[in-house]
Amino acid sequence: MASYQARRQITRHKVRASFQSTLSGLVGSGLPDKALDDPPPGDNPRAMDDKHYRALLEAARVSQDGPWALMTEERTITLHVASGGVGLNISKVVRLRSEGLLLHAENAHGEVFVLSLGDVFAASIEGGKKAVTFVTCR
């Protein structure tokens, strides 16, 4: 029984040493030591800003109703959003409102979404004679 325990302890020690050796080899290998989904430092060049938002409204040919931008009857917008590695598509948007860094979007079902403008990375305009897609990646 004592020899079994001793062999088990030696095996554990070898596995730990092998694992630690592998980890130390990875650290010096040039691989990133941060999580893969960490946001890039500084500004995100793929994030939508006010300039992209205005271009989207212009392309969709919206009408203004106070602070809200309204789509015409035959057009809707799909917003493509991502944050922390999780994506979300908000389709059939009929009303938009920008409020600083927040974007309020209401779809045809009456659902209202409050988003960070920086999490929106693309938008597509559906309906009309042709669909137009704006991807805000630079």
- CB atoms near residue 58 (< 10 Å): 9
Burial level of 103, CB count in 10 A (0-12/13-18/19+)? buried
CATH number for 50-135: choose from 2.30.30, 1.10.357, 2.40.50, 3.40.1000. 2.30.30
pLDDT of residue 20: 63
Name the residue type at position 59: A
- Residue pLDDT, tens place only, 42-90: 455 577 888 889 999 999 999 999 999 999 878 999 999 998 889 999 9
Q: Whole-model pTM above 0.75? A: no
Every domain of the chain and the residues it spans? 1-32, 50-135
Pairing of strands 102-107, 86-99: antiparallel
The residues pairing with 81 across neighbouring beta strands, listed in sequence order, are: 88, 120
pLDDT of residue 115: 94
